[in-house]
Amino acid sequence: MDGSRLAEFRWAVVRCFGAARGALSDLCDALATEVSARSLPELSTSPFFRRRWSSIYKGLSRGRIDRRALQAVFAQAAPRPAADARLVLALDASPLVRRQARTAADRTLVHVPNMPDGAAPVLPGWQFSTLVVVPEAVSSWVHVLDNQRIPSSETAVRMGAAQVRAVLPLLLPVRPLLLADGGYGTATWLQATADLAVDQLLRVARNSVFYRSAPPRTGRRGRPRKDGAPFKCKDPSTHGSPDDTWTGTDAQGLAVTLTVWGTLHFKACREIPLTVVRRVVHDPATPDAPQTLWCVWVGETLPALCDLAPLYPRRFAIEHGYRFDKQDLLWTRTRLRTPEQAQRWTDLVSSVHNLLGIARAEVGADLRPWEPAHRPATPRQVRRALGRILADLGSPVPAPQPRGKSPGRTLGARPAPAPRYPVIRKSPLKRQKRASAA
């Protein structure tokens, strides 16, 4: 990696900014270096933010970002795998909860984990679909390719398919591998991505049912069968003989057994063949309850099982990336009013996350006395050390020009209250039937 890659990436990101370019650029530098800030106004105390604190909100409100150009910048800066490895992507969705923001438009009920017992695991807010490049070792060092809000008129599946379709041409000529959770291991997802040049390893529900190829025609009267014998994940008697089996150990030294069955399909999309993969982890601490994971492989030739076994756990890197964005980069701590402002803020957070990944080789880590030096650097440690490098590089935008004092609001002006918006429910509520009179 040459020493100018960090500066080139900063310049490329800033060129994607339109209106309010100076405020957005300073906000990126402040977010990348101000480790003690816990809110947007606190970022204005950074020496890299050369404007007043109100410029943060003006930049997010009036600024413009060319998202197509930003996608191209992110794809060009994506880490390239080794000659004998593949580029591995991961796709998932994460909520940005806005529980009491009645003036925020287009809120839906988003899934929120770890809710109290008895409470519904949903809250009003916005949901974002994220496509990243995951590292070989599970960590927060993911590289964001696209992070886009899911409107109330769309679903995570349709939005994710559109993201993959838009990003794949930017990654050519490689054929990447996509990992996704159970929400994408459906016939709807396979139909939406059937024509894409990407192999997929998707988790499926443990009660999924697949079907074998239809048997040959018997010559009897009546419609021939469209499906063969069922394959029920929960019923071992329907599995039959597997095509291949492999036993080994994972990174933690636990015994892993991988079993595959080929030439299966979903009933809703018979034209897409798939291979069912069962991954069983045997933990000596719980010998009677092995961890069983069901996945499907869709794409070209199935890799060797010893190479397939450690692939799906790499998907969990996107969860670590979410945690860093939310805890350190203040992704969910903002109180922005409109979905457009939330999208601009998300693009800035993704830009800073990728900036730290590029700076890792050039900047190093700023370690606390109690942090071990032999471990790989974390994004938090690189972020501490980034300030001195950005000071030497300078800002990609000129310094702001003083414009005098604003005249303020006209005497007697009374702005109208902000409009209120209801929470949009994607599935209509079912009307309760009235009890019939006795």
Q: What is the pLDDT of residues 370-385, one digit of tens each?
A: 999 889 999 999 999 9
Local confidence band at 437 (pLDDT 50, 70, 90 cut-offs): low
Quick one: pLDDT at residue 426? 80
Local confidence band at 251 (pLDDT 50, 70, 90 cut-offs): confident
Over range 346-371, report the average pLDDT: 92
* Phi, psi of 204, rounded to the nearest 5 degrees: -125, 160
Is the per-residue pLDDT at 344 higher than 60? yes
Cβ neighbours of residue 77 under 8 Å, at least 6 residues apart? 5, 9, 12, 143, 354, 358
Quick one: pLDDT at residue 202? 97
Cis peptide before 173 (omega within 30 of 0): yes
Over range 349-357, report the average pLDDT: 96
Lowest mean pLDDT segment, chosen from 19-23, 214-218, 235-239, 252-256:
214-218
Q: In the chain, pLDDT over 70 holds for what percent of residues?
A: 97
Is the per-residue pLDDT at 137 higher than 80? yes
Over range 93-118, report the average pLDDT: 90
Structure tokens that stand for 311 in this block: 């692939």
Is the per-residue pLDDT at 209 higher than 80? yes
Is the per-residue pLDDT at 428 higher than 70? no
Local confidence band at 1 (pLDDT 50, 70, 90 cut-offs): very low
Local confidence band at 438 (pLDDT 50, 70, 90 cut-offs): very low
Is the per-residue pLDDT at 404 higher than 80? no
Is the per-residue pLDDT at 354 higher than 90? yes
Is the per-residue pLDDT at 433 higher than 80? no
Over range 79-108, report the average pLDDT: 92
Residue-wise pLDDT tens digits, 265-313: 999 999 999 999 999 998 888 877 789 999 999 999 899 999 999 999 9
Question: Is the pLDDT higher at 287 or at 348?
Answer: 348
Cα–chain center distance at 112: 15
Is the per-residue pLDDT at 19 higher than 50? yes
Structure tokens that stand for 398 in this block: 């000129």
Question: Is the pLDDT higher at 205 or at 219?
Answer: 205
Local confidence band at 116 (pLDDT 50, 70, 90 cut-offs): confident
Is the per-residue pLDDT at 149 higher than 50? yes
Please answer whether residues 336 and 60 qualify as being in contact, where contact means their C-beta atoms are separated by less than 8 angstroms: yes
Nearest CA-CA partner of 49 in 23, 69, 14, 67: 23
CB count within 10 Å of CB 91 equals 28
**pTM beyond cutoff 0.75:** yes
Q: Which 3-state string (H, E, C) describes 290-353?
A: CEEEEEEEECCCCCCHHHHCCCHHHHHHHHHHHHHHHHCCCCCCCCCCCHHHHHHHHHHHHHHH
Cβ neighbours of residue 401 under 8 Å, at least 6 residues apart? none
Residue-wise pLDDT tens digits, 214-242: 888 877 888 888 999 999 999 999 999 99
Q: In the chain, pLDDT over 90 holds for what percent of residues?
A: 70
With vertex at residue 113, the alpha carbon angle to CA 110 and CA 118, rounded to the nearest 5 degrees, is: 95
Q: Mean pLDDT, the chain, as a whole number?
A: 91
Residue-wise pLDDT tens digits, 40-57: 999 999 999 999 888 999
Local confidence band at 119 (pLDDT 50, 70, 90 cut-offs): confident
Lowest mean pLDDT segment, chosen from 203-212, 317-326, 396-405:
396-405
Greatest distance between any 2 Cα atoms in the chain = 90
